[in-house]
Structure formats: structure tokens, C-alpha cells
Amino acid sequence: MTRVIAQGTFDILHPGHVHYLSDAASMGDELHVIIARSSNVTHKQKPILDDRQRRDMVAALDVVDEAHLGHETDIFVPIERIDPDVIVLGYDQHHDEADLEAALSDRGIDCEVARASPREPAYDDELLSTGRIIDRILERRG
């Protein structure tokens, strides 16, 4: 059985998230998703939704076998516990594959690192990012 991990913030679920998780699920038999804790999100604005709500929303998706909250101080703790065969990064996530592979190797975690495919908007007005959804809400209701 091939165990796959996908990870991210997953704030305000949208079609881009569904595509990423579906693509990740297609790379194995079991998909585990690690949801970043708000306290660990430093590369962009903090999530709107709280940690548990984001985890519960991701867990409700059919392609997800298990959804986990990330560790408060060490992002590798849940990876070690899940023991994946593949970690799938989103096509536009800020992680560098070589750096991640080196960090995994340093921790004795033997798994492949892959990238999900991009998803183009299905129509002109489709929003595929949380930031763009928030911008649209502010534009229309702010």
C-alpha cells in the first residue's frame, strides 16, 4: 500500500485545493493531509478559519483518508508518525523539493517528494486561491 501525504493551510476551501488533494490521492492508496497550524503560517497572512475547522473541512472530502493538524513546533513529527511513501507538494507551494528531501533524509524519513499538477481555471471568473476569494469578498462586500 502506498501512503501519501499532502500538506497546506487550506483556508477557505476552493477548487484548487480539491484538485491538489485529488491529484495527491491518485499517487497512492491512502491520502493523509497535514493542515498547518495558524501559529506556523509565516509565509503568508494567517488563516481566517481556525485550525480545527480547517482540519474538519479537509477531512470531509472523499479523497482524504485522514486529516491531521500539524505539530506546534516541529513539522516533521506528523510525517514521522504517518510514515509516508510519497509527499506531494502543491504545484505553487513555496517549498523547495531538494531542501525538503535533504531535511527528510536528515531525519531518516525515506520517501519520495513529488509536485501536484497545476489546475487552470475552468472559466474566466473561477477563483483558485484563498487570497483571490478574500479580495473578491472585500471588493463586493467590504
Residue pair 130/11 in contact by the 8 Å Cβ criterion: yes
Query: Is position 106 annotated in a ligand binding site?
Result: no
Query: Is position 76 annotated in a ligand binding site?
Result: no
Residues 6+ apart with CB under 8 A from 36: 7, 8, 9, 70
Query: Is position 28 annotated in a ligand binding site?
Result: no
Secondary structure (3-state) at 139: helix
Residue 69 CA: distances (Å) to CA of 32, 95, 119, 138? 11, 18, 25, 29
Query: Is position 84 annotated in a ligand binding site?
Result: no
Query: Is position 17 annotated in a ligand binding site?
Result: yes
Secondary structure (3-state) at 89: strand
Binding residues: 9-10, 14-17, 92
Binding residues for ATP: 9-10, 14-17, 92
